Structure 1
Amino acid sequence: MLVHVTVSGRVQGVGFRYTTQQIAIKYNLTGWVQNQPDGTVELEVEGNKSSVDTFLKALEDSNNQFIRIDDMNVETLKDNKDYKSFIIK
């Protein structure tokens, strides 16, 4: 399963990309995360459905006091991209 996610809120300059990477690694997921010029953070995450769903829930429930997620737009993509790791762009 591959999903593309756009996250808005207080998600830049607060460790959100690092937190995202650590959660993805914890659930053996691959993909990438990067800041966008409009202040959002965009990511793609790939793995089995159960792990991806758990990852998304863990991301929403992150205990980082500086991160605030206002909206998370999740789009399921049709084809996997066979990422080898989870990187911060």
Structure 2
Amino acid sequence: MSDKVFRMNCWFEGHVQGVGFRYQTTAVARGFEVCGTVRNLIDGRVHLYAEGAESEVRGFQEAVADELETYIRKAEITTDSGPRTCEGFRIVL
């Protein structure tokens, strides 16, 4: 069995801070088998990091984008695979 997981970094741009974006993302994460973090960035974007099975991670990112689409102007996504680096899903302050 491989010890590598699918990993995704996603940067959301738009009106994504001060609207409960991170909290809603955490609520969406409960419906998926993913772990990771969500954080506000100083430049006004939100960074989402998630890892797990590729289908779960991609489904999670799509669910976040659907749930919060009115706030998102643009999303930049990078993916790779590697060792698991986190447990659970949490907001990073």
* Deviant stretches of 4+, over 3 Å: none
SS where residue 26 of structure 1 aligns? coil
Which residue of structure 1 lines up, in the alignment, with residue 80 of structure 2? 77
What is the DSSP-based 3-state SS (H/G/I as helix, E as strand, rest coil) of the residue aligned with 1:84? coil
Partner amino acid, structure 2, of 1:68: Y
Matches within 5 A, 1:1-80: 1-62=6-67, 67-80=70-83
- Kept in 2: contact 1:5–1:75 (CA 8 A): yes
CA RMSD of aligned residues (A): 1.6
Unaligned runs of 5+ in 2: 1-5
Code of the aligned partner of 2:11: T
Shift of 1:28: 1.9
Deviation track 1:18-67 (CA, whole Å, cap 9, x = no partner) reads 111111221021000100011000121011111111111111110x58x5
Specify which structure has the higher proportion of strand.
Answer: 2
Number of equivalenced pairs: 87
Listed as ranges, the gaps of 5+ residues in structure 1 are: none
**Secondary structure of 1:61 counterpart:** helix
TM superposition score normalised by structure 1:
0.88
